Amino acid sequence: MSEPIYVIGHQQPDTDTICSALAYARLKREQGADVVPARTGALNPETQFVVDRWGVEIPVLLDDAAGEQVILVDHNEYSQTVTGAENAEIVEIIDHHRIGDIETSEPILFRNEPVGSTATILTQLFDDANETIPTQTAGLLLSGILSDTVVLRSPTTTERDRAAATRLADIVDVDYEAYGKELLTQKSKVGEKSPREMVLSDFKEFDFDGQQVGIGQIETVEPSVVLDQQDAVLETMDDVATERDYAVFLLLVTDLLEEDSTALVAGPEVEPVEKGLDTTFTDREAFLPGVMSRKKQVVPLLEDAFGANSA
């Protein structure tokens, strides 16, 4: 009796991370491997909606990966992965982010591609393996693509994401624009959350040249719901930055309709953020026209700015 391999996405799981874990486990099982989809934490409302919509069981909660074999999807950095990953055997990685700090002793499959979602790469992997994509899986993959690319509107969107979305929408027979709007509505349900839930629900931690930086993002069609309670939000950000000893905690409140972001900031190292993003914070707030993607329009700039700062 051997242990299964877990496919797991990043902390604070989002729709692309959960759908990619489910889809890749499905593909690997079709190929005869004992692979189980897993998650690091609770689902957000959008992802819960997706899982219900396509009638799949939610992945198992994996508290600690120490001693396990794991496949990482939708991330490749220790600061974003499951607890215990340092003592797990990482056997594969499928991702679409910057190349992070994970090293292995053996050669493994690591497929990182600069496309809009991990689900886009998984669609390709089904094709590469000559496996038919089951309807349920097609629904999940479509959801991952539409969620991560803001219905193909984010600047991270590529032709391959468009082609995959069109094809998956055909398989499941839905209008992807209409279905995408349903997803956005779910994603925008921020009003019911506490400030702490809001700022941490889509949150990533980075190690920039030895400094810990937290970057949260709230994607919504109603930014005013967040910005109207700005004092409470900033107070929560201060608490989190202090608790976790962050150099800086940046929160992007992204307006999905106007396609821009308002940034809020906490922590001592505001200057490299201003330099990196070429902006000035007034009362800890800055407007970032055209910024929709944390990954593409914020992370590289901050990494460079923090690197230059310490050099």
- Interface ranges with a copy of itself (CB under 8 A): 93, 96-114, 128, 295-296, 299-300, 303-304
Residue placing its CB nearer to a copy of itself in the complex, 128 or 170:
128
Q: How far apart are CA 254 and CA 249, in angstroms?
A: 16
* In the complex, minimum distance from the CB of residue 200 to a copy of itself, in angstroms, rounded to a whole number: 24
CA distances (Å), origin 292, targets 100, 196, 201, 217, 251 = 22, 22, 17, 9, 12
Q: How far is the CB of 122 from a copy of itself (least distance, A)?
A: 15
Of the pair 73, 234, the CB lying nearest a copy of itself is at 73
Name every residue whose Cβ is closer than 8 Å to that of residue 228 and which is 6 or more positions away in sequence. Answer: none
Minimum CB distance to a copy of itself smaller for 285 or for 304: 304
Give the tokens for residue 5.
Answer: 């391999």
Nearest Cα to Cα of residue 202 among 37, 23, 45, 7: 45
Question: Which residues face 213 on adjacent strands?
Answer: 206, 248
Of 61 and 109, which CB lies nearer to a copy of itself in the complex structure? Answer: 109
Q: CA-CA distance, 162 to 132, in Å (whole number)? A: 19
The whole-angstrom separation of Cα 95 and Cα 200 is 22
Asked if residue 172 lies in contact with residue 133, where contact means CB atoms within 8 angstroms, the answer is no
CB of 124 to a copy of itself, least distance (A): 9
Nearest-approach distance from CB 103 to a copy of itself, in angstroms: 5
Minimum distance between the CB of residue 195 and a copy of itself, rounded to whole angstroms?
30
Rounded least distance, CB 295 to a copy of itself, Å? 7
Question: 152 or 169, CB closer to a copy of itself?
Answer: 152
Q: Which is nearer to a copy of itself, 8 or 299 (CB)?
A: 299
Q: How far apart are the C-alpha atoms of 238 and 226, rounded to whole Å?
A: 16
